[in-house]
Every structure is written in C-alpha cells, then in structure tokens.
Amino acid sequence: MKQSERVMEWKRQEEKLFSFLYYKKITNCLFQSLRHSITQPLCSPMSTNLLPSSRPITYAIDAWSANQKKKSGVEMYAFQLIQAMKKHALQENEHVVLYSPVKLEGALAELPNGWEEKTIAWPTKSSWFPVGWMQARMSLELFQHPPSLFFVPSQGLPRRLPGASYPIVTTIHDLGFLRAPNLYDASSRKRLSKLTKRSVRGASHLITVSEFSKSEIISTYHTSPDRISTTPLAADTSIYKRLSREQIEPVLQRNRLGKHFFLYVGRLDQKKNVETIIRAFDQFKQNRGVGDPFELVLVGEPGFGFASMKNWIDHSSSKHQIHTLGYLDDADVAVLMNAATAFLFPSWYEGFGIPNVEAMLCGTPLVVSDIPAHREIIGDAALFVDPSEPELWERAMRQIAEDASVREQLIQKGSVRGTMYDWNKTAAKTWEILRGLV
C-alpha cells in the first residue's frame, strides 16, 4: 500500500472512531433521557397560556456549506439563500440558529436580530468530514436541544433519534451521480447515493431547484409530488451586472487577456464536459486562420477527470491561447463575463446551472448544452448544442463571433430572462415552506 493510501485509510479509520464515540455518547444520553421520562416527560408540555401563534419557534439551519471559502453551486446556493433569508423579518416568536463546525466568516457572520450562530466542533477533516459532523455531532446536538425545525440546504440529514418530533427539510439539487455515474469518482457516487436516499426517506419535506430535478426525484425514488417544492436558484445582482470598460480593463490586464475570448466558469471536471469546448476551440482557430485574436478562458478548480482535460490542452495546436485561471472571486468572474464574446457551458448534466444566469445578467451571449435543465431555465435565450458534438460547438462559436445580429439578439433575450431569477424570491418561497411545517 502506498504512503498516500495508508494516510487516507488512517483518516477513514479515525473518522469511524470519532463517529463511534459520538454514537455511544448519543446512546447514553438517550438512555438517561428515557430513565428520566419515567417520572417526567422528555419535553415539558407547552403552557396552555401560550397560543399557537405566540409559542417560541426555533429554526435550526446547517450553515456548513454556506461557510466554505471556495463555493461551487451547492455552497453558493446555501450562502446566497441564507443571506437573502436574513432580509426577511422574523415574527416576534421566531428565532434562527446557524450551525457550523467552525466559526462563520465574512458576510455570513453578520446576523440580524433574532439570529445567532452556534459552533459545533468536529475533530477531524477527512473526505467524509461533513457526513460525520452531520450524522454524529449534529444528531447529538439536535437531540439535546431540539429545534422547531431543522433545514439542511445541502442534501444530507442527521440521524433522527427516538423522541425527535421536529420536521426536517433538505435540498436535493440533482441526481447526476445516478443519471451519469461515469462522471463521478466511486467515493462521490457512494456518498451521494447514501445521502440522497436517506434524505428522501427521512425528510419531512424536500426542496429542489428545478422542475426537471423534481421529476427526476419523483421517478427515481417514487415519492409523492406533494413532498417536494421547487425554488429556483439565482445570481447575486449586486455583483453580476453590466460593467463599464473602466471596470473591465484592469482585470483583463492582470490576467493578460485580450479583448476577444470565450469563457467557461465552473469546476474543471468530467461532468462539466470541458473537453468538448477545448476540441471545438481548436477547430475554431484552425478555421479562422493565422492571426485570429480569439482565446479560450477556463475559470474554476480542477476536479474529477482534470488530468484528461489537461492532456487535451497540452496537445492542442492552440494551447497558447487557452488560459486556465483557477478559482476566481465573484467580482473578477463578473468582469470576465462582461468582457467575453460568449459564455460556454457544455455540461452533460445539470439541475439548474447558476453560471448561466450570472452570464445573462452580465449581458453575455450563451452557448449551452442541449439538456432538459438548460431548456427549462434559459428558455430561448441561448444557442443550444449537443454536448457530444465539438463540430457543432465550433459552428455556434463562429456564429456568435461573426454575426453581430445573433449576438445582440441573445444579449437582449438573456438580459430579460436573467431577471426572472431572484434570491429574495427564493428566500420568500423557502420561508413559506418552513413556516408551513412548524
């Protein structure tokens, strides 16, 4: 066994040990509570002097995903949703607790009246760290301090212990790990499969991000449509908007980019199908000939299958015009979207696709894969292309680069379509769901 494999195995065993110790502690707490209940109920009966409308209501929210420094789609949803929920006034009897294994940072830590954070530490950080924290540490916390409702914006639930009567709501974003399993590593498939199955079985109510994802969940897990609500995602309109040339130029200079480029933003992994646009760009450059100024800019963290993608870049005849910039903050991404000739999003599978909405708000024409979620979210505000056909992608890229009328039409349609999605609307719908369950 290699040294790295031994380290990973040690971390897995460490995680199991901590989980076992916490489960043992939970069992002891449960036993003591049951003994205590012989003479006194586990939960004191509600005072008859309190009307239902005035009884205290505590919403516990898992803020672990929202507190990540580098946010992909799920983490961005959790962060933006919580930030938007803060803007909605609480009723007099309502209280919100944000739970995280580490202290909240940045804007997430700025809490209005009626909100508080609670750090529930977990001693190890293996790849299964979120699962161990949720199923062991949070299970104990919620058993000892039961809320009126527990909300998990990223799929995955605590273990519901005997006597727990509070409803649990969780968000399932998509079922890509089932529909396109070859695009995920074995560990991720196993983890997501377990988490999602437990979420569907154990949650009082489910939230998902599109009608497409809702239909996938219903057909796969045979659950009632009444148990699932759809709350579309959105973009941060304070960042993703039209910018001036003066705001754009410094970012282009810092990243040594010209004025003509195609842009992709997202994780650089197999399920995002970035290889297709690399191959399409190669053909585009060959067809345009010597002296063509266009570049391809890829923004995002490497993921599963990145080595293969890197190999395509290294062997591309246009490799010096392909730029991988890594993870960038939202402000820089918004600038690049404003400057790009077109935004390319070739995913094999999506539940929603936040970057498409961000690009539309920045006035960037879209070329996207022809998949159900994109058709639902984008409408007719994009050029839709078969994700398996680089030749068709090259043709769409040339069409936008060479036909100003097509480009302008997509910009106008996208500008209107992008405004349909608003985090405040998503937050209002989420509050409606949560309040309807307590």
Going residue by residue through the chain (438 aa), what tens digit of pLDDT does each one get?
555 555 455 455 555 544 554 445 544 544 444 444 333 333 333 333 334 457 899 999 999 989 988 888 899 999 999 999 999 999 999 999 999 998 999 999 999 999 999 998 876 555 555 666 777 788 888 888 999 999 999 877 776 655 568 999 999 999 999 998 988 888 888 888 988 998 999 899 999 999 999 999 999 999 999 999 999 999 999 999 999 999 999 999 999 999 999 999 999 999 999 999 999 999 999 999 888 999 999 999 998 888 888 999 999 999 999 999 999 999 999 999 999 999 999 999 999 999 999 999 999 999 999 999 999 999 999 999 999 999 999 999 999 999 999 999 999 999 999 999 999 999 999 999 999 999
Based on the domain organization, do 288 and 189 belong to the same domain? no
Based on the domain organization, do 78 and 222 belong to the same domain? yes
Based on the domain organization, do 265 and 173 belong to the same domain? no
Q: How many CB atoms lie within 10 A of CB 117?
A: 17
pLDDT of residue 205: 96
pLDDT of residue 24: 52
Instruction: Report the alpha-carbon distance of residue 85 to residue 421 in Å, rounded.
Output: 15
Based on the domain organization, do 175 and 316 belong to the same domain? no
Based on the domain organization, do 427 and 382 belong to the same domain? no
pLDDT of residue 143: 87
Based on the domain organization, do 210 and 88 belong to the same domain? yes
In a domain, 318, yes or no: yes
- What is the reported pTM? 0.84
- Per the structure, the complete domain to which residue 331 belongs is given by 245-418
In a domain, 16, yes or no: no
Based on the domain organization, do 341 and 389 belong to the same domain? yes
Domain count, the chain: 2
Based on the domain organization, do 188 and 172 belong to the same domain? yes
In a domain, 254, yes or no: yes
**Which residues are bridge partners to 367 per DSSP?**
344, 383
In a domain, 401, yes or no: yes
In a domain, 219, yes or no: yes
Read off the amino acid at residue 390. P
In a domain, 13, yes or no: no
Based on the domain organization, do 165 and 275 belong to the same domain? no
Based on the domain organization, do 384 and 397 belong to the same domain? yes
Based on the domain organization, do 129 and 171 belong to the same domain? yes
pLDDT of residue 49: 38
Q: Per residue, what are the HEC states of the chain? A: CCHHHHHHHHHHHHHHHHHHHHHHHHHHHHHHHHHHCCCCCCCCCCCCCCCCCCCCEEEEEECCHHHCCCCCHHHHHHHHHHHHHHCCCCCCCEEEEEEECCCCCHHHHCCCCCEEEEECCCCCCCCCHHHHHHHHHHHHHHHHCCCCEEEECCCCCCCCCCCCCCCEEEECCCCHHHHCHHHCCHHHHHHHHHHHHHHHHHCCEEEECCHHHHHHHHHHHCCCHHHEEECCCCCCCCCCCCCCHHHHHHHHHHCCCCCCEEEEECCECHHHCHHHHHHHHHHHHHHHCCCCCCEEEEECCECCCHHHHHHHHHCCCCHHHEEEEECCCHHHHHHHHHHCCEEEECCCCCCCCHHHHHHHHCCCCEEEECCHHHHHHHCCCCEEECCCCHHHHHHHHHHHHHCHHHHHHHHHHHHHHHCCCCHHHHHHHHHHHHHCCC
In a domain, 35, yes or no: no
Based on the domain organization, do 333 and 287 belong to the same domain? yes
The CATH number that applies at residue 199 is 3.40.50.2000
CA 259, 265, 269, 272 torsion-angle sign:
negative
Read off the amino acid at residue 261. F
pLDDT of residue 34: 40
In a domain, 46, yes or no: no
